[in-house]
Amino acid sequence: MLVSVTAPLSFAVRDRIRKAIEAAGGAVHFAERLRDVPAGPEIHFGHVSLDFIYAHPTLRWVQTASAGVDRLTMGDRPFPAGVLLTNASGVYGTAGGEHVLAMMLYFARGLHFYTANQRRGEWVRDVSYARLLKDRTAVILGLGDIGREVARRARAFGMRIIGVKRTLRPVEEADRVVTSEQLDDVLPLADHLAVTLPLTRETYHLLDARRLSLLPRGAFVYNIGRGAVVDEQALIEALRSGHIAGAGLDVFEDEPLPPESPLWRMDNVLITPHVGADTPWDYDAAAEVFLDNFSRYVRGEPLRNVVDPALGY
């Protein structure tokens, strides 16, 4: 059993992985690049591409170091049958939740207005941009790991939480849960809309111009899921018109965000470069998911975080 690892890990975690694999009678190959992986791996952990999986027909299980797997499930070719796919869901929730809340506070307290004045050297004591999160409504589109952490933190600030998810099951962190079929009904209630969804064929441009128009004038939008869940051009137009008061964006349809994008030059937009759920310790944390799953794999037990490639999550 050969295991290939392309995740950049600390020496201590690499040593733990090596010992676990060797104890199971296997061998491990650590590589910085996919092209440096030798032929014949049965298991792969870390950076991965659909081309890599097709090039290694010996693969039986792929553990990603990310939560999103759209690069593997949204391509022109289907994900190979017979290969088990698991992700690192559970690793990124805390950081993602804090990041969205930071964006909420940035706009709610009018910091976008004050930082723009700071760059111009202007002392303007205008408090009309300052708001409270207390008693406002946050609609959270997607109640996975990150979505629940956003809800937990927003509720601590006194916000009312409406969660939107695929199935109608209660979630402790939300005051109300609706299905995606009811999205149009709750968008008009959103003072703040947080998008935490993965990109699938069902979620592509889920928030188009029509749905953005359903938001109340002056609402704020945050996207920490995947860029293409929101129609970016429609969002730009809504920001220009003032219908959307501000947007905190960590993900984009094209990454890196092209220099010519008008989003760079909009004072009511906060941009972070797809780092919203990241910390310097993410890969080591993802390795804990892999190590747990590896022990399950060798014992023939069900794995955690199994992804259905047809659904994309």
What is the CA angle 167-202-165, rounded to 5?
A: 25
What distance in Å separates the CA atoms of residue 239 and residue 225, rounded to the nearest whole number?
Answer: 19
End-to-end CA distance of the chain: 27
Q: Is 205 an active-site residue?
A: no
CB-based contact 161:196 (threshold 8 Å): no
* 79 in Cβ contact with 53 (< 8 Å): yes
Q: In the numeric block, which tokens belong to residue 117? A: 């004045």
Q: Tell me, yes or no, if 255 is annotated catalytic.
A: yes
- Residue 106 φ/ψ region, left for φ over 0, alpha for ψ in the -120 to 50 degree band, beta for the rest: alpha
Give, to the nearest 10 degrees, the angle between helix 145-156 and helix 93-108: 40
3-state secondary structure of 203: coil
Displacement of CA 254 from its chain's centroid (Å): 15
Which two three-digit tokens encode residue 178? 């609706």
* Angstrom distance (rounded) from CA 149 to CA 195: 13
Catalytic residue of the set 29, 152, 274, 296: 274
Say which of 44, 56, 153, 226 is annotated catalytic: 226
- Whether 274 is a known active-site residue: answer yes
User: Which residues lie across from 207 on neighbouring strands?
Assistant: 230
For residue 132, how many other CB atoms are within 10 A of its CB?
11
Question: Which residue bears the tokens 């890599």?
Answer: 52
The strand pair at 244-249 and 137-141 is best described as unpaired
- Contact call for residues 109 and 133 (beta carbons, < 8 A): no
Residues recognised as catalytic = 226, 255, 274
